[in-house]
Amino acid sequence: MKRNKLAIVLLSGLLLLSSCDKWLEQENLMGMSDNQTYSEEAGITSVVSNLYSRMKYWQDFAADGESYDFTRWDEASNNSQYWAFAGNVGTGYREYYDYGFIRELNLHIANLTTISTGKIAADKLNYFIAEARFLRAYNYFVMVVQYGGVPLITEVTEYMDDPLPLAVPRNKESEIYDFIISEMNDIIDDLSNAKSKTRATKGAAMALKCRAALYAGTLAYNHDKSASKTLNLASGATGIEKSKAENYLKACLDAFAELEKLGYQLYIKNTDPADNYYEAFTTEQENNPEIIFCKAYDGVNLKNSFTARAIARTQTKLDKSGAQINPLLNLVNDYEILNTREKKDIDAYAGNERIESMSDYRSSYQYNIYDNPEDIFAGRDPRLAGTILYPGSTFRGLPIDLQAGLAIPTAEGYEFKAARTIGGISSDRYEGQKLTGEDGPLCDGDGNWYISHSGFLLKKFVDAAAGSEINGASKVPYIIFRFGEALLNASEAAFYLNSLGITDYNGHSTKTMALDYINRVRQRAGGDIFRLTENELTFDRIVNERRVELAFEDHRYNDLKRWRVADEWWFNDQQNETATTYVLWPYKIYAPGTPENGKWIYRKMKALHRANNGILSFNNTMYYNSYPMNEGNPNIEKNPNH
């Protein structure tokens, strides 16, 4: 969009605006003036489609998208040492500072207000304006999460030979969150409550308010912790005073209450909890009551290539180029034991846990022996099987071929035989026995990219439809807001309020609210037995619940930042277990004539096939991005620790 002319979107962008509302349908228009464009609904909707197509989502499924951002931290590693960005991102990670887009949104709102008034039905015009304000608020949310306070510009600024009069200082971090929350409150009555999941609705507005209010409330709640890490600027451009926590947390609960009134609910359509959880992310949005707002793909005009990037090598039809997201043992260990609700690490060793080296092909350690490769994962939270493909898993009705090698018993323990290159997977044998599964894991040798290096593959978001990995044909939506997240947001907000001594809100016990909301998510996951008791609800439980329920949904990085623990969890030190990334490799025992023959053992190792020798790195400079200082604005203040 230029100053006097609006860019009109092509057909692919129109898919973002799918709706049951007939008045939102349009034909593709080209080369119209602003006056023409804003004088009819079809022209306005073309502009809106362009605006939606430019929304910033750090992880999406576009054909030209990347998968490596799913693998930067402690959820997964990638399948190539050349893409091993994890924990080595610096202060420029996730730079997004787009005031060009903000200006276009402001101009769009101004044109609607001036040109469209009297030419478009009032209810539809009010919707278009409210929709634009939602998009603008969302983009301010993306920026405030990365930079803290940014200049709040809501009017159209004209280009000037001398731009200095336009130079404004940064607003306080709290003022940006206040703006987002206030905007959502102001526009809700003008937004549609239609079934559309791809356009701004009352639900999308309340979901944004729910998340933004929790983020702001958390920063205020953790004000003292921020101060100890020198993250609060005296100007308020970063950091939110603790006195504001209560109102933000109550705003989060208010937004959640509105979402309940609007009828959103958890996806519960399959009696198998693992399958049900998987379906919650792969069912098309029209049939999913949990999805509030998403980016839709049809696999033809708007392609989804995520399945091609993530699917197992054995299930790719073309160039064997999948397996690019390798979940880590760190995440697998955080799925609780279902019947006892305890966190317990995967039990690979008889006796003390060991950390082995990938370069060792002999071992004298004592291993637990399992009849089947999947037995080591038995009894875990069903969301594990709904999220991750582990040894013994099937997908699309076919077995996943995960096997690191053969374990040959020796007098001292075991000798390990494995293929040394990706080419050897199909040809290398030991006494006629296959050494390594076609899906890996494997590390040594050049070119070993498209197999697992961790012993795990991703299932969540991967399309089970045959052929969906070809040419971006998957129709799985990219979910931006869902009801499951809102439940956990509300649980956390109520927990903080109770910790602040606010035991009642709107006639309800905050302790009871916190417990009920988290248990609704857990009950969907594992049934009544998985519900927490009052004494079990702790901050650590909230952390872990978000870890597993929201895995790979782009919450982990921001969660650890707003909790002000990222520098502790991911402190770059060889002795820091939460910063050290681990893999788990399965070996099939080859001992003909013995009871152990054909059974399985596992070896735990560091994920060396990534940056920093498998150690993550986050420090206090990374809580806020380096603020852009090259715009000639003398009023801009640097971010803390920079």
State whether 152 and 186 are in the same domain. no
Distance CA 221, CA 247 (A): 11
| Confidence check: pLDDT of 9 > 50 | no
Domain limits for position 409? 322-463+574-642
Residue 287 included in any domain: yes
Residue 86 included in any domain: no
Q: Which of 145, 169, 193 marks a domain boundary? A: 169
At residue 11, the 3 state secondary structure works out as helix
Q: For 380-404, write each residue's pLDDT tens digit.
A: 999 999 999 999 999 999 999 999 9
User: Which pTM does this prediction carry?
Assistant: 0.93
| Confidence check: pLDDT of 633 > 90 | no
DSSP string, 556-607: HHHHHHHTT-HHHHT---TT-TTTB-EEEEEEEE--TTSTTTT-EEEEEEE-
Q: pLDDT grade, residue 160 (50/70/90)?
A: low
| Confidence check: pLDDT of 27 > 50 | no
Q: For 221-246, write each residue's pLDDT tens digit.
A: 999 999 999 999 999 999 999 999 99
State whether 597 and 626 are in the same domain. yes
In 3D space, the residue among 462, 444, 333 whose CA is nearest the CA of residue 394 turns out to be: 462
Q: pLDDT grade, residue 93 (50/70/90)?
A: confident
Residue 618 included in any domain: yes
State whether 127 and 23 are in the same domain. yes
In 3D space, the residue among 137, 253, 314 whose CA is nearest the CA of residue 493 turns out to be: 253
pLDDT of residue 2: 38
Least confident of 146-160, 348-362, 433-447, 514-528: 433-447
pLDDT of residue 422: 83
State whether 206 and 266 are in the same domain. yes
Q: Which of 139, 169, 199 marks a domain boundary? A: 169
State whether 188 and 151 are in the same domain. no
Instruction: Tell me the pLDDT of the chain averaged across its residues.
Output: 89
Distance CA 390, CA 387 (A): 10
Q: pLDDT grade, residue 493 (50/70/90)?
A: very high
Enclosing H/E stretch for 99: helix 99-114
pLDDT of residue 4: 34
Distance CA 165, CA 346 (A): 61
State whether 552 and 578 are in the same domain. no
450/531: higher pLDDT: 531
State whether 642 and 620 are in the same domain. yes
Least confident of 138-142, 468-472, 523-527: 468-472
Q: pLDDT grade, residue 502 (50/70/90)?
A: very high
| Confidence check: pLDDT of 157 > 90 | no
Distance CA 448, CA 198 (A): 38
Residues in a beta bridge with 583: 605
The tokens describing 72, both together, are 């930067």
pLDDT of residue 321: 75
The residues, ordered by sequence, that sit 6+ positions from 472 with a Cβ below 8 Å of its Cβ are 63, 297, 299, 303, 304, 305, 308
Residue 77 included in any domain: no
pLDDT of residue 317: 64
Least confident of 1-15, 349-363, 532-546: 1-15
pLDDT of residue 70: 87
Residue 612 included in any domain: yes
Residue 78 included in any domain: no
Contact 134, 184 (CB under 8 A): yes
Q: For 528-552, write each residue's pLDDT tens digit.
A: 999 999 999 999 999 999 999 999 9
pLDDT of residue 522: 98
| Confidence check: pLDDT of 345 > 70 | yes
Distance CA 568, CA 619 (A): 8
Q: Which of 540, 564, 588 marks a domain boundary? A: 564
Give the CATH number, domain containing residue 218: 1.25.40.390
Q: For 17-26, write each residue's pLDDT tens digit.
A: 443 344 333 3
State whether 255 and 370 are in the same domain. no
Looking at the structure of the chain, the number of domains it has is 3
Least confident of 187-191, 418-422, 630-634: 630-634
Average pLDDT over residues 185-199: 90
Distance CA 2, CA 115 (A): 17
State whether 542 and 607 are in the same domain. no
Least confident of 147-161, 179-193, 555-569, 613-627: 147-161
The tokens describing 530, both together, are 């998985």
At residue 547, the 3 state secondary structure works out as helix
State whether 512 and 585 are in the same domain. no
pLDDT of residue 87: 46
pLDDT of residue 601: 98
Residue 469 included in any domain: no
At residue 6, the 3 state secondary structure works out as coil
Residue 74 included in any domain: no
Q: For 231-290, write each residue's pLDDT tens digit.
A: 999 999 999 999 999 999 999 999 999 999 999 999 999 999 999 999 999 998 999 999
Dihedral of the CA atoms 178, 183, 184, 187 (nearest 10)?
160
State whether 386 and 404 are in the same domain. yes
Residues in a beta bridge with 304: 62, 473
pLDDT of residue 33: 84
490/284: higher pLDDT: 490
Percent of the chain with pLDDT over 90: 75
State whether 17 and 150 are in the same domain. yes
